[in-house]
Amino acid sequence: MTRKGCYFWSGKASGSDIDAPSLEDNALSLSTPAAQTAMRAAPVSAPRETPTSDGILAAILTSLSDDKAEDLVEISLRGKSEMADHMVIANGRSTRQVAAMAEKLTDRLKQRFGIISKVEGKDIGDWVLIDTGDVIVHLFRPEVREFYQLEKMWMSAAEAAAITG
């Protein structure tokens, strides 16, 4: 028997003396404490801004600057790669700072744009890679950044010379 989209069974379970569940047992109730708590919860809001690669880049640079990132470099990947439009490379003074900057950055991007970033290396904190889609972020400890020298791989010789002085 069917009522209002709920299926219930009237009768005894086969081979047992258990009564069949009643309609009330199968229906969700809005009067339960869990349902009332869920209804009081803040509604999920849509992102406040439409993400563009330049807007995401500006938010990333601001976030890293606010978190005292050092040696911040932005590299345009337009025309060089199809994986992203921009790459940002920055240092933190310690593994703790690198991991904290990564955590705050991903939280800020999620709050502002609704972007769920992919993060690698945050647990170790030597080199954290954050993929936001249009912008790739590399956060390093200074020694690790010096070892890999990503800037030289992605920048022209003139750009790299201007940064390294």
| Domains of the chain, start order | 53-164 (3.30.460.10)
Helix (H) or strand (E) holding 76, with range, is: strand 70-76
**Residue 88: what pLDDT?**
97
Q: pLDDT below 70 — which residues of the chain? A: 1-32, 34-48, 160, 163-165
What per-residue confidence (pLDDT) applies to 151? 86
Return the pLDDT at 9.
45
Query: For residue 21, what are the CA distances in angstroms to 7, 9, 33, 58, 105?
Result: 10, 7, 22, 58, 50
> Tokens in use for 153?
């791989």
pLDDT number for residue 165: 59
Q: Tell me what pLDDT residue 86 has.
A: 95
pLDDT at 147: 95
**What is the pLDDT, as a whole number, of residue 84?**
92
